[in-house]
Amino acid sequence: MADSLVKKRAASVADLKEMTDARVALGRFGAGTPTRAAQAFLLDHARAREAVWSTVDHARLRRGLEGLPIAVIDVESQAEDRSSYVRRPDLGRKLSPASTEKLLASANGFDVVVVIADGLSSSAVDINAAPLVRSLVERLMALGLSVGPVVIASQARVALADPVGEALDARVAIMLIGERPGLSAADSLGAYLTHTPRAGTPDSRRNCVSNIREGGLSVEAAAETIVGLVTDMMRAGISGVGLKEAVGRLAP
């Protein structure tokens, strides 16, 4: 009877470990954790720190975007370097004056504009951004929507998509940004969508698709979800917490 219970518990633990990247059932060695578990923790912590403090490989990102039927524009926030970006989140939400002028020169009343931002994980951008943008552009154009230039933003926070979208006169801005790394995933990309982006837009007017990475939400699944949200926003003329209710009212 006791052996049966032990085996059943062991099977349950094994099933749980297969279902999550979280640290569960690590075991113990005396009063502490086994050496392998302790070393894995230190390695993941180092990866998370590196993701925050390293920079996006712009050459690799641009190679991944080659062949798209739209232009690529580089912009910067008002955070001059990584240190000020981490310590002054407000600067990461504002475009530099030179970047604003550059975008205004390309404004053309687009339906959708996609922004790629380093955020708090360059690893997430390096791995996931280019394939997601390619899938998004293909799907959006297939729906007959006009897609503005892809904007690559350095030292950027989520809200930087607002002045970018406003400068380009876009109906919807999609911000693809490296999410804050955790100890089980340092390469997670987030997508934040805003209808009628304007500087000062509150976060309650955004919709988010998160955990885009291998082992999380796949690029293709994320693209399908994001395009579905864009379609709903176009119909309802709104984004954020009121979107679901607004779409429900429009349903036949």
As a whole number of angstroms, the distance between CA 198 and CA 148 comes to 16
pLDDT of residue 32: 72
- β-pairing, 172-178 vs 189-195, is antiparallel
pLDDT of residue 176: 98
Give the tens place of pLDDT for each residue, 192-234. 999 999 999 999 999 999 999 988 999 999 999 999 999 999 9
Residue 25: which pLDDT band, with cuts at 50, 70 and 90?
Answer: low
With tokens 């949200």, the residue in question is 229
Give the tens place of pLDDT for each residue, 106-147. 988 999 999 999 988 888 999 999 999 999 999 999 999 999
The residue ranking higher by pLDDT, 121 or 5, is 121
SS3 content of the chain, % helix, strand, coil (to 5): 50, 15, 35
Q: Where are the domains of the chain?
A: 59-250
Indicate whether 19 pLDDT > 90: no
pLDDT, mean over the chain:
86
Give the tens place of pLDDT for each residue, 57-109. 999 999 999 999 999 999 999 999 888 988 999 999 999 999 999 999 998 89
pLDDT of residue 249: 80
Indicate whether 15 pLDDT > 70: no
Alpha-carbon separation of residue 125 from 46, 108, 162 (angstroms): 18, 27, 20
pLDDT of residue 38: 62
pLDDT of residue 187: 85
SS3 198: coil
Indicate whether 6 pLDDT > 80: no
pLDDT of residue 43: 66
pLDDT of residue 56: 86
pLDDT of residue 34: 73
Nearest Cα residue to 119 out of 161, 177, 73: 177
Region for 30 from its dihedrals, namely left if φ exceeds 0, alpha if ψ lies in -120 to 50, beta otherwise = left
The architecture in CATH of the region 59-250 reads 3-Layer(aba) Sandwich (3.40)
pLDDT of residue 165: 97
Nearest Cα residue to 209 out of 223, 191, 195, 183: 191
